[in-house]
Chains A and B, each alone.
Chain A
Amino acid sequence: MSEHQALRSILATDCGSTTTKAILIELIDGEYRLRVRGEAPTTVEAPYEDVTVGVLNAVREVEELSGRILLREGEIIRPQQGNEGVDAYVSTSSAGGGLQVMVVGLVRSMTAESAERAALGAGAIVMDVVALDDGRRDYERIERMRELRPDMILISGGTDGGEVRKVVEMAELVAAANPQARLGVDYELPVIFAGNEDAREPVTEALERATQLTVVENLRPSMEEENLGPARGEIQDLFLEHVMAQAPGYPKLMGWTDADIMPTPAAVGALIEAVAERDGINVVGVDIGGATTDVFSVFGSVFNRTVSANLGMSYSISNVLAEAGLDNILRWVAEHPDPRRLGNDIRNKMIRPTTIPQQLVGLMVEHGVAREALRLAFEQHRMLASELKGVQRQRDISDAFGAAGAETLVDMMALDLIVGSGGVLSHAPRRRQAALMMIDSFEPQGVTRLAVDSIFMMPQLGVLSTISERAATEVFYRDCLIPLGTCIAPVGTRRPGDPCVRLTVRGPEGGEEIEVPVGELKLIELEEDERAQVTVEPTRAFDAGEGPGRTVEAEVRGGVVGLIIDARGRPLALPEDDAERVAAIRRWERALEVYPREPVGEGADL
């Protein structure tokens, strides 16, 4: 269905691995707005084994909340007739573990990494990357391919006109492994070859008997160039044609939708890309879930996505503990919980993933875990979202002593907007908690806007944008994206208490001049929809975007939190002395009024 004015109402669902979320969008007074949201458990697993059962349950909740009849005889009524039905229905899916891809390439940091980027960009979970230099022996690679049972395999390798023999060797390994597809017993595993064009014939010969092979353009035609589009597109086509078609209930669901079902992360990525393109800005988006954390970025119109498969707030919370360490989690907490009890509490959250913090200290600990999960996921993202490795570059003598790898594309000083999503950010009791978590883990530099997804509906809006860019954009800006405000963070380090930055803020309420010393946070009220002209004058040791000590003029936007001046320095370092650390954390929390001073509400006495 193409975009047209006639769309009066749209139903969109996201079939997640545990919950199916449905939203109803209506054209109200000439504007598309979110009307209601409903949810129900996903029903891909036994005893239902039919995804449409969960979809219908979620839609029924939407019916009840909106008072609008959407279903008749177990199907979605279309088009809208009076107060019944909707004009369009779209859906995304990550149910049943999402799209699981195995990547095979030649050199881990070159063609294999390009292939990994293509798979991630298509919304896949990359189960493993097999490469000539991965340190494994052939039988170990074969065993791994067999045991993983991916949804599909993406083979890359060789620039056009380059290495053929090694590429064919890798294809022969895939054929020898004869891996079985994860879903469905009677169909051959889809394999995509996106490598050296000269290797197409021998690779086809090696693989066509054992697999369902598709050949697309080389995703790394030369060392200097990546061409990820064809491989990405093919992954998504195969996802629909083969993987989804094998999943329980999906053939029926595919018959209902007015646009192709998209993998959930691909839909979120599409939306982030659209935002960056529409406003001509650099954007980082993050979705921190129970099991995984996805990071998306667009810098200079180059899109990248990474998924940290075992960093999350419930199912993977113990892994955050294992990777970050208890000390790193607790450094964000001003209280001193008993470490033994805390370790047990975190493990109990893993095995009872839907529980929520009941006490303030429990909430603070979860926010500490979130900071570490976000920090680690962002570190992984910075490594993968990099310039192409293997490109010949002129180096000067300083490079010879530094890291030889390619530079990351993530330039925090050039970043315009950070969008946070996922339960711990979207549902934080105070929005300022989300703002501080994002600042602490991403460490934005210079002038950066912050926003959160109100109720996590970016996936639905991403797929909606394929049939109505206007509806997706209007709902995104009016109902989905909650502007938190702007963070101004000069880069540099000095002793706490030394001068850091002076600001002149001219807003709707008049002018204000403030000085913020090193080591402090300061909040200036600036409401949503308000803007202010700011003159930022850092001291000589600090850079606010124009170089050390140079003045920056900027127009900044407000939000539900306001204008946050972060003079704690970059890189952000917490005091090593415990008493000083606790005092600093308490000052920062008070400056932003992050937590209530006294516990409130029911159960506060516990």
Chain B
Amino acid sequence: MSEAATVTHGYTPGLRITDRALIRRLRRLPLPGEIHVAVGDEVRADRLVGSTQLPGNVVNVNVAHELSMTPEDVLDYIIVTEGDEVETRQIIAESKSFWGLFHTIARSPISGTIETISEITGQVLIRGAPIQVQIDAYIDGTVVEVHGNEAVMIETKAALAQGILGVGGEAHGSLRVLCEGPEQSCGAELIEGDCDGCILIGGGRVTLQALEAAREAGAVAVVTGAIDDRDLDSFVGEPLGVAITGQEELGLSLVLTEGFGDTPMRRRTFELLAERDGRRASVNGATQIRAGVIRPEVVVPEPGATWGAMDEGEMHGLAVGSPVRLIRPPTFGELAVIEELPEALTQIATEAKVRVARVRLERTGEVITVPRANMEIIEE
């Protein structure tokens, strides 16, 4: 067996934290509909940019059963045709027998349109009223593309901080910094006064009580370093089994920049957001940690910015001198700098032979050996 079998790859989630990003977000309707903006329009995050109607829910009425007859006979007694509009309780089929003495009827349980009438099954499908869907711009920016009657692209120059995991969907509001530094835990005592429409910026671990207080005070999102797994489960209402999120209806979106436990927000993220205290921003908690990874994000538009944006997705490999964060116990969350990258496979405490790095811990200056798989590059 070749040595290649034991090669491990370093993990670099490539979270972007930058004050110069060119953000482009496609706003797509689930079905073609109407687009309400044109290329060149300046839009705010809450501006409706498109709307459509989804076909309504379908309800079936088993007419053969209701009229106590075989499906083949149903057509003779149906008094509506495909495409007809019907009201709730409207009669759609009736039969009379014994010279009209016995009268059986079938009614529509909803208002809607007759979709199909089947002589094979004797059932009538009725489609309810269309469901209105509207999408907003999500970020303050400019409409740069319109894709027919289905989608628009919004573009803005902005500061961007991606998190590692979030819950809840899109929100927009103004940033309000709660913590004095990235290490400070985010407890309920920090939530003071009216937070209506605010995106609250914490630092270290947020508690369940703080999230509930934030929601109560009208905040739309909380961005912080970490949370205890049990608090997250309580907040979401069920155990989070897989990291595919964004559909939860919580009334408050949450973006974690680091993960679980007592991990402070990395300083660069905290400073980037703290410097923009009070500014308008957009947040999306949607996360997918699978193929086609999606990260939660905080976007703070920079209206009128003239700088050139850094390339999106610019990534660097592990190199001597690279600042890294250690992401596995017993040194989870420690910041370090790579001192050496030995080529040969090295046996670690579990007896596994893996590629390692020698790193100097920022906090203590100690040099330790860590599997390369257990560190992530801190992108500047």
Q: Measuring CB to CB, which residues of chain A are less than 8 angstroms from any residue of chain B? A: 17-18, 34-39, 41-42, 44-47, 61, 65, 95-97, 137-139, 142-143, 164-166, 168-169, 172-173, 175-177, 202, 206, 291, 310, 315-316, 318-319, 321-323, 340-341, 343-348, 350-360, 362-363, 427, 429-430, 454-455, 479, 596, 599-604, 606
Question: What is the CA–CA distance of A359 and B374 in the complex, to the nearest angstrom?
Answer: 12
User: Known: A351-B259, A606-B331. Contact between A37 and B5, CB under 8 A?
Assistant: yes
Closest to A606 in B: B330
Which B residues are in CB contact (< 8 Å) with A429? 350-353
**A354 to B327, alpha carbons, bound, how many Å?**
10
Chain B residues positioned under 8 Å from A319 (CB to CB): 241-242
A96 to B120, CA, bound (A): 39
Which residue of A139, A322, A603 is within 8 Å of B368 (Cβ)? A603
Q: Assess whether A169 is in contact with B121, with CB atoms less than 8 Å apart.
A: yes
Give Cα A97–Cα B291 distance, bound, in whole angstroms.
Answer: 8
Q: Which of B217-225, B265-273, B341-349 contacts A (4 or more CB under 8 A)?
A: B341-349
Instruction: From A18, A95, A355, A602, give the contact of B348 (CB < 8 A).
Output: A602
| Distance of A528 from chain B, by nearest CB (Å) | 14
Contacts A45-B292, A165-B120, A169-B121: A139 and B229 contacting too (C-beta < 8 A)?
no
Complexed CA–CA distance, A47 and B332 (Å): 31
Which chain B positions have C-beta within 8 A of A143? 57
- The CA of A316 and the CA of B241, in the complex, are separated in Å by 7
Query: Closest 8 interchain pairs by CB?
Result: A319-B241, A601-B347, A139-B57, A322-B239, A429-B351, A344-B260, A602-B369, A344-B261
How far, in angstroms, from A142 to B59 measured CA to CA in the complex?
10
**Cross-chain pairs A/B with CB under 8 angstroms, 17 sampled:** A18-B291, A36-B2, A96-B291, A139-B128, A164-B120, A165-B122, A168-B118, A173-B58, A318-B229, A322-B240, A343-B230, A344-B260, A347-B260, A351-B164, A356-B373, A359-B350, A599-B350
Stretch among B8-16, B83-91, B93-101, B172-180 lining the A interface? B8-16
- Chain B residue with Cβ nearest A175: B116
Q: Which residues of B contact A310 (CB under 8 A)?
A: 241-242
B123 touches A172 (CB 8 A): yes
Q: A344-B228, A454-B1 are in contact. Are A355 and B291 (CB under 8 A)?
A: no
Q: Given contacts A139-B57, A359-B330, A600-B349, is CB(A350)–CB(B243) below 8 Å?
A: yes
Give residues 318-336 of B contacting A (CB, 8 Å).
Answer: 327-332
Q: Which chain A residues lie closer than 8 Å to B376 at the CB level?
A: 352
Complex: chain B residue closest to A354, CB-CB: B11
**Contact yes or no, A139 B58, CB < 8 A:** yes
- Partner pick for A37 among B2, B59, B230, B349, CB 8 A cutoff: B2
User: With the chains together, A353 CA to B242 CA distance in Å?
Assistant: 11
Number of interface residues of B (CB under 8 A): 69
| B356 located at the interface, meaning its Cβ lies under 8 Å from any Cβ of chain A in the complex | yes
Interfacial chain B residues near A350, Cβ < 8 Å = 242-243, 289
- Chain A residues with CB under 8 A of B182: none
Residue from A61, A165, A310, A319 with most neighbouring chain B CB atoms (10 Å)? A165
A-B contact count (CB 8 A): 224
Q: Is the CB of B2 within 8 A of A315?
A: no
Contact of B259 with A352 in the complex, beta carbons under 8 Å: yes
How far apart sit A357 and B369, CA to CA, in the bound complex (Å)?
13
* 0/1 string, B366-379, CB within 8 A of A gives 1: 00111101101000
- Would B242 and A39 count as touching, CB distance under 8 A? no
Write out the residue numbers on chain A whose beta carbons fall within 8 Å of the beta carbon of B125: 172, 176
Q: Which residue of B8, B122, B328 is within 8 Å of A362 (Cβ)? A: B328
| Closest chain B residue, CB of each to CB of A61 | B4
Question: For B330, what are the chain A residues with a Cβ–Cβ distance below 8 Å?
Answer: 358-359, 606
CA distance A354 to B293 in the complex (A): 14
Question: In the bound complex, what is the Cα–Cα distance between A340 and B228 (angstroms)?
Answer: 8
A137: chain B residues within 8 A (beta carbon): 59
Instruction: Give chain B's interface residues, CB within 8 Å of chain A.
Output: 1-9, 11, 13, 57-60, 71, 115-116, 118, 120-123, 125, 127-128, 164-165, 228-230, 232, 239-243, 259-261, 289-293, 313, 327-332, 346-354, 356, 368-371, 373-374, 376
Do the beta carbons of A38 and B4 come within 8 Å of each other? Answer: yes
Q: Which chain A residue shows the least CB distance to B353?
A: A429
| B313 A355 Cβ-Cβ under 8 A | no
Note all chain B residues with C-beta closer than 8 A to A176.
Answer: 58, 115-116, 125, 127
Cross-interface CB contact of B332 among A17, A343, A348, cutoff 8 Å: A348
The verdict on A603 contacting B243 (CB below 8 Å), with A344-B260, A348-B259, A356-B374 known, is: no
Q: A343-B228, A599-B349, A602-B348 are in contact. Are A318 and B242 (CB under 8 A)?
A: yes
Are B4's CB and A356's CB within 8 A?
A: no
Query: Given A319-B241, A347-B259, do A65 and B4 touch, yes or no (CB 8 Å)?
Result: yes
- Minimum CB–CB distance for A442 against chain B, Å: 23
Q: Is the beta-carbon distance between B291 and A39 smaller than 8 angstroms?
A: no
**Contact status of A172 and B118, CB under 8 A, knowing A315-B289, A343-B230:** yes
Cα–Cα, bound, A464→B341 (Å): 38
Is there contact, CB below 8 Å, between B259 and A357?
Answer: no
Q: Is the CB of B290 within 8 A of A34?
A: no
A362 close to B9 (CB less than 8 A): no
Interchain CB contact (< 8 A) of B291 among A36, A45, A322, A602: A45
Q: Are B58 and A47 in contact (CB under 8 A)?
A: no
Q: Are A347 and B371 in contact (CB under 8 A)?
A: no
In this complex, which of A319, A341, A356, A599 has the most chain B Cβ atoms within 10 angstroms of its Cβ?
A: A356
Which of B58, B116, B327 counts the most A-chain CB atoms under 10 A from its CB?
Answer: B58
A393 CB, nearest partner CB in chain B, Å: 32
Docked-complex contact A352 and B291, CB < 8 angstroms: no
Cα distance, A602 to B344, chains bound together (Å) = 13
Contacts A137-B59, A343-B260, A600-B347 given; 8 further ones with Cβ under 8 A?
A37-B4, A95-B291, A168-B118, A310-B242, A315-B289, A344-B261, A360-B350, A606-B330
How distant is the Cα of A353 from the Cα of B352 in the complex, in angstroms? 17
Residue of A whose beta carbon sits closest to that of B350: A363
- With A34-B1, A138-B60, A165-B120 known as contacts, the answer to whether A354 contacts B289 (CB < 8 A) is no
CB distance from A310 to the nearest CB of B (A): 6
From the candidates A35, A291, A341, A347, name the one contacting B2 in the complex (CB within 8 A): A35
The answer for the CA separation of A436 and B12 in the assembled complex, in Å, is 33
Q: Which residues of B contact A177 (CB under 8 A)?
A: 58
A206: B residues at CB distance < 8 A: 118
For A42, the chain B residues whose CB sits under 8 A away are: 291
Contact A39 B228 (CB under 8 A): no
